[in-house]
Amino acid sequence: MKIALAQCNYHIGNFASNIEKIASGIEKARNQKVDLVVFSELAISGYPPRDFLEFDDFIQQCQDAVQTLAQQCKGIAAIIGLPTRNPNEKGKPLYNTAVFIENGEIKQHIHKSLLPNYDIFDEYRYFEPNKSFECVNLKGKNLAVTICEDLWNVQDNPLYIINPMDELISQNPEFIINIAASPFNYQQTKIRKDVLHRNAVKYALPLFYVNHVGAQTELLFDGGSLVMDAQGKTMLELAYFEEDFQVFDTDQLSNSKEISDPSREFSEIEMIHDALVMGIRNYFKKLGFSKAILGLSGGIDSAVTSALAAEALGHENVYNVLMPSRFSSDHSVDDSIGLVENLRMPHDIISIEHAFNAFEESLQPYFKGLPFNIAEENLQARTRGVLLMALSNKYGYILLNTSNKSEAAVGYGTLYGDMNGGLSVIGDVYKTQVFHLARYINRNAEIIPENIITKPPSAELRPDQKDTDSLPDYEVLDEILYQYIEQRLGPNEIVKMGFDAALVKRILKLVNTNEYKRYQTPPILRVSTKAFGMGRRMPIVAKYLS
């Protein structure tokens, strides 16, 4: 049997585009004399459709689309994911479904059983879990069709009381097929492969896995669809961070020992880089924009953001605005000019002094001679924010936010100033990782000037300011933040790791008391296991650790 894996970049609610991609995959499979072509979870709607699922018209368009696609399946079978209505009077109104189509006819609906309701997932909000299990039969072979999470209860700490494959194995399937929408984080590839390997080995069955690829706002999907043999050996692996289409002949399974493992290893920083570039590119394309604007400060965060955007959108489509003040060092401007010249990006220099002076003059009677403090520092950042948003509005460019995760965590940023933007590119990247990203960007040639990477980080909002004036070294800060945010360890547990108790208390208090700022940030491209945004839901007016 020849099975095709169609790894596509879908667009939520863009039925015309999604239908075209699926129809093209069906036609390509038919031309290669494929028996079955497999598409990913909720392919017709795109994933995650969220509250679009509450619109009856949205569901009807999904139903109409699958009927149209079924007619394309003459002489071929297909498995396609979409939301379908629950005909029962009780329960959630929808199922997360894989339809099995054969020779132009929808033969079977397979519903998802395990509905994730943690971190970024909220499927139980919309879908009813499946409670009946039946294999698909194609040309005399039973196929155990599962949907994403349905295979994840094979881990050591099961989240659910049932395991769909335990139910299906009694029907003697010959293959496992899993259609998925498994979002990327820099640890997910290894975890996902381990889960798939465990399933193949536990049930002694070959496994065909088809994942989404592309970005849906902050969620990034890395692809990496694959075929494993019954011993868990990878026989075929599709591309990462791009669309792909591959055909696998099951006759190869009998010769699997002669086939070398085609999977490749990625470094953590390489995956983060590729994911962010894809995330920027997809965000702009799916919104119908082509040009970005950002404030280039001479620091490493804006430099990395600018370089990533240039790779994603083309250097000519990234407009860099340098906005020096009385506190800006000469090298900040020089370093920024070096970057834009290296990447041949458009730029302008707009001093904020005149506007900042005007604000100071207007506020002078109300500040009543009080000394220069954070109010004036933030006023500079907000002056820059106003200028950037004015240019963004005038030219129709999306403003890129350049704050990193370390800053966002402790509130080291100004609302309506440097926290402005339509997309946060590195808001899920710790400062120490930003330095690694800069080195990776410079892996073949110096794109980011060396001085930007090596000079001490500074907001340059007062004389001789350094980040370390108010924050510990980033190596220490980032480790404390990682243990608290990603690992969810409490203060006592972090202190036992060897960190100063007073420092831990201060840092965790900063994280919690600045939650209100993060409620007002742009969407953040998610690359970690716990990003700020939809996957981390914290109350603002809580007392814990404050």
Of 148, 193, 233, 530, the active-site residue reads: 148
175 contact partners, CB below 8 Å, separation of at least 6:
3, 141, 143, 144, 205, 206, 207, 208, 250
219 contact partners, CB below 8 Å, separation of at least 6:
48, 120, 183, 526
| Topology classification of domain 271-466 | Rossmann fold (3.40.50)
Element (H, E) at 216: strand 213-216
Q: Does domain 2-253 have CATH number 3.40.50.620?
A: no
Of 21, 62, 73, 112, the active-site residue reads: 112
| 49 preceded by a cis bond (ω within 30 of 0) | no
Quote the pTM value.
0.95
Task: Enter the DSSP assignment of 294.
Answer: E
> What does the block give as tokens for 366?
């109300």
Phi/psi-derived region of residue 314, left when phi > 0, alpha when psi is between -120 and 50, beta in every other case? left
359 contact partners, CB below 8 Å, separation of at least 6:
379, 383
Task: List, by residue range, all CATH 3.40.50.620 domains of the chain.
Answer: 271-466
In a structure prediction context, what are the per-residue pLDDT tens digits for the chain, which is 546 residues long?
A: 999 999 999 999 999 999 999 999 999 999 999 999 999 999 999 999 999 999 999 999 999 999 999 999 999 999 999 999 999 999 999 999 999 999 999 999 999 999 999 999 999 999 999 999 999 999 999 999 999 999 999 887 788 999 999 999 999 999 999 999 999 999 999 999 999 999 999 999 999 999 999 999 999 999 999 999 999 999 999 999 999 999 999 999 887 676 777 777 889 999 999 999 999 999 999 999 999 999 999 999 999 999 999 999 999 999 999 999 877 666 788 899 999 999 999 999 999 999 999 999 999 999 988 999 999 999 999 999 999 999 999 999 999 999 999 999 999 999 999 999 999 999 999 999 999 999 999 999 999 999 999 988 665 565 666 666 678 999 999 999 999 999 999 999 999 999 999 999 999 999 999 999 999 999 999 999 999 999 999 999 988 876
Please say if 41 is a catalytic residue: yes
Query: How many alpha carbons fall within 13 Å on the CB side of residue 192?
Result: 26
* Closest alpha carbon to 176 in 140, 138, 141, 208: 208
Of 41, 123, 218, 377, the active-site residue reads: 41
Please say if 148 is a catalytic residue: yes
Task: List, by residue range, all CATH 3.60.110.10 domains of the chain.
Answer: 2-253
